[in-house]
């Protein structure tokens, strides 16, 4: 028969691993997209830009566009902060002037450098698979912790409190092992 300290040690080991997994889960969830998926997003965004350089050029013909306004427009173009110019118009003009392929090339290169500097990206498929693995192990730990607490209670020991955030479906299950069987199916 196990001592109370052995049960406490088992429960703390399960809880420590659970904390590790929750940190890992946050890391996986927050990891940047893969370069391929980022490139796809860039392409979709660029495809949505219809080159309309005339819309920007027409801004210069508006009555309020004095010489100071034109200078302000020229200086504010890249940030889209110039009066009356929406950032999308600036990007459309930029795509028209430098060419879509060069703009794409620059955006992809910047994205690649950023993703690399952040430790790489993760595809949606890999992210889903990693999160499913973590969820499965979390459930195993929940069940193992509950089994240890119940075994300690059956042995007559008190003082092994359940976590406030313990999974209710595990705590309330007549046999928590059935939850593992359901999850595996």
* pLDDT tens digit at each of 185 positions of the chain: 899 999 999 999 999 999 999 999 999 999 999 999 999 998 888 887 755 555 555 655 655 555 444 444 444 444 444 444 456 666 777 777 778 888 889 989 999 999 999 999 999 999 999 999 999 999 999 999 999 999 999 999 987 899 999 999 998 988 888 888 887 77
Distance CA 108, CA 43 (A): 9
Q: Residue 20 is encoded by which pair of tokens? A: 């590790």
Q: Residue 128 is encoded by which pair of tokens? A: 């889903």
98 Ramachandran zone, left/alpha/beta (phi>0; psi -120 to 50) = alpha
Distance CA 71, CA 145 (A): 68
Nearest Cα to 15, choosing from 173, 157, 152, 145? 145
Distance CA 92, CA 46 (A): 9
């Amino acid at each position: 028969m196990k001592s109370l300290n052995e049960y406490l040690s088992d429960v703390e080991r399960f809880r420590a691993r659970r904390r590790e997994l929750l940190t890992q889960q946050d890391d996986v969830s927050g990891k940047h997209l893969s370069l391929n998926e980022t490139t796809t997003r860039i392409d979709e965004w660029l495809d949505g830009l219809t080159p309309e350089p005339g819309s920007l050029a027409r801004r210069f013909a508006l009555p309020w566009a004095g010489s100071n306004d034109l200078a302000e427009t020229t200086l504010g173009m890249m940030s889209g902060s110039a009066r009356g110019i929406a950032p999308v118009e600036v990007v459309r003009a930029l795509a028209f002037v430098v060419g879509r392929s060069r703009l794409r090339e620059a955006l992809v290169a910047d994205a690649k450098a950023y993703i690399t500097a952040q430790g790489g990206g993760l595809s949606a498929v890999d992210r889903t698979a990693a999160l499913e693995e973590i969820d499965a192990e979390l459930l195993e730990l929940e069940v193992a912790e509950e089994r240890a607490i119940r075994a300690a209670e059956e042995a007559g020991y008190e003082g092994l409190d359940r976590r406030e955030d313990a999974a209710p479906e595990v705590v309330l299950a007549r046999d928590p092992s059935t939850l593992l069987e359901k999850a595996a199916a």
